[in-house]
A = this chain, B = another copy of it.
Amino acid sequence: MKASPIIVAIDGPVLGSCQGLVKIMTDLGDEVVGFKVGIPFIIQCGLESLAAARSRIRNGLLIADLKLADIGDIMVRVVSLVKDYVDAVIAHSFVGYKGALDKVSEKLKEWNIKLILVASMSHEGSRELYDRNLDSIMDVVKKANPWGVVAPATRPDIISLVRNALGADVKILAPGVGTQGARPGDAICAGADYEIIGRSITESPDPKKAVELIALEQEEALMRCRR
């Protein structure tokens, strides 16, 4: 079975426990493209839970959503703490290249970890600065040469602009689906590769069923938009 273009956001135990979240990742490891583990999970559950998730996910990507936004040395130091457990980390573009993403980009290459950069965010306030600077942000992204970028499912026009600016080789991950308002499939129709979905899956009584239903919605949306 082909994994659905879903990345499950694991933001820390609200319902359930750390073990419960590791179990969700274990159970869905073959159904989805990967998992995005946030700072609340890392602080609350500790690196040992991240290591447990790593050892139980066979195929899925494990992404540390650190939302890194510091000077280069500190970002590298934070990544060094999780580098043995994850395939990719997320950093912000707005910290710029020199003395920041240049160092991260270089170190991640050495460690064979994928870099994912935030190009825009899913909430309304992202229009205030991120979207108004999209051209400069794209310049920073091109210099740092990441594996993927984050662009909001809640604003498909931004996804299209990012796709046009970066071409087909960069993966686009789109958050904001479900609780935040975007419908499954909309971001992919606009040019994203994967949709990031959290609470609709992790807080469902049956996460596997939730994934199946969302995957179905994605396929239906794709059939409509690619007609």
Contact = CB atoms under 8 A, between A and B. Distances in A.
A43 B102 CA distance: 23
Give the size category of A's interface with B: 35 or more
Contacts of A74: 11, 38-40
Given A77-B11, A136-B129, A136-B132, A98 B124 contact: yes
Nearest to A132: B136
A69 interface: yes
Contacts of A140: 128-129
Interface stretch (A18-26, A88-96, A208-216): A88-96
Interface string A115-147: 000000111111111101100110010000000
A56 to B, nearest CB: 21
A78 interface: yes
A102 B125 CA distance: 9
Interface string A52-84: 000000000000001111111010011001100
Most chain-B Cβ atoms within 10 A of its Cβ — which of A12, A74, A130?
A74
Given A43-B82, A69-B92, A100-B121, 17 more contacts: A11-B77, A14-B77, A38-B70, A39-B70, A39-B78, A40-B81, A46-B46, A71-B123, A72-B123, A92-B92, A95-B123, A96-B127, A97-B128, A98-B123, A98-B124, A129-B133, A132-B133
